[in-house]
Amino acid sequence: ETGVTQSPTHLIKTRGQQVTLRCSSQSGHNTVSWYQQALGQGPQFIFQYYREEENGRGNFPPRFSGLQFPNYSSELNVNALELDDSALYLCASSLGGGDYEQYFGPGTRLTVT
Amino acid sequence: GESVGLHLPTLSVQEGDNSIINCAYSNSASDYFIWYKQESGKGPQFIIDIRSNMDKRQGQRVTVLLNKTVKHLSLQIAATQPGDSAVYFCAENIKGGATNKLIFGTGTLLAVQP
């Protein structure tokens, strides 16, 4: 176990709704990255937060947004859900924004109907 | 739990044999590479990493080889065990300023036959 936790484990939402996913980073880690993993594919980088600031973003639309809190936990928010948003959402924590090892949580399985 | 191995390349080996999983990466400027193991219903688990100033690194039962000339990585698992059955991803670390993002390969499903 990595010490990274995510909630909820599973979630079912309807198209057009909004969702918030949560991540608690490993103790001592100040950086959280979020990834989307569609079934049968590798994870894709959404964005990274370092000391409460967005530190980089992948090719995801603005309806994907996030927050990082002073305790370095993080939220991923997705507005106006689409069917293609159905995926496993992973967060990973690391010691910094550079090339440090990233430790992944178990993920949240989001299903959009 | 759900399978992450649908439609992935599959490597089937006998228990006790050695496994070799290959990966091509895309960015010649990448300088840090990681292999992850992902079991069904779980997040990726770090196995071993290598920096671009090395061409080989060994861990416990695992070895990673890096060929920068052809942008190729391989993961060798010695004496493969049933518990090694999982999807294996290589990832390259892409730097953009202070950002550290991982670009994952397609993944390979390793199936260990007892």
Q: Are A54 and B96 in contact (CB under 8 A)?
A: no
Alpha-carbon distances of B94 from A20, A42, A51, B107, rounded to whole Å: 27, 16, 20, 18
Mean pLDDT (chain B) is 89
C-alpha–C-alpha distance, residues A55 and A68, integer Å: 11
CA distance, residue B107 to nearest chain A CA (Å):
6
Q: Which residues does chain A have within 8 Å of residue B98's beta carbon, measured at their own beta carbons?
A: 50, 55-56, 97-98
Convert the pLDDT of each residue in A78-109 to its tens digit: 999 999 999 999 999 988 766 678 899 999 99
Tokens of A10: 């599973």
Chain B contact for A66, CB < 8 A?
A: no
Convert the pLDDT of each residue in B7-60 to its tens digit: 689 999 999 999 999 999 988 888 899 999 999 889 999 999 999 999 999 999
C-alpha–C-alpha distance, residues A97 and A93, integer Å: 10
pLDDT of residue B3: 39
The answer for A52, left when phi > 0, alpha when psi is -120 to 50, beta otherwise, is left
C-alpha–C-alpha distance, residues B53 and B56, integer Å: 10
